Amino acid sequence: MEVVKGTVVGGKVVLDGKSLPEGTEVAVFVARQERAVRLPPHLQRELESALDEADREDGISAEELFAELRKHG
């Protein structure tokens, strides 16, 4: 898996400095910078707690994660 940035031009996604083979399946995440996500206070606290917990724990690289996922199909 790889993250590649692009822009919609004429209704099609044009990748920034990258080309992919014809027929490559992609998933598109639309970043809307002008819209803020608003959470109810209890969910905001839960999210902040989870982020704090993640910061305290040792993690693995994305490459290691994907290698582990490939092992399990």
Spatial contact of 39 and 47, defined as CB atoms under 8 Å apart: yes
Which value, in Å, is the radius of gyration of the alpha carbons in the chain? 18
Task: Show Cβ contacts of residue 66 under 8 Å, excluding neighbours closer than 6 positions.
Answer: 1
In the 8-state DSSP scheme, what is residue 44?
H
Token pair in block for residue 33: 């910078």
pLDDT at site 26: 86
pLDDT at site 36: 76
pLDDT at site 20: 87
In the 8-state DSSP scheme, what is residue 70?
H
Over residues 3-56, the pLDDT tens digits come to: 888 889 999 888 988 888 898 888 888 877 777 778 999 999 999 999 888 888
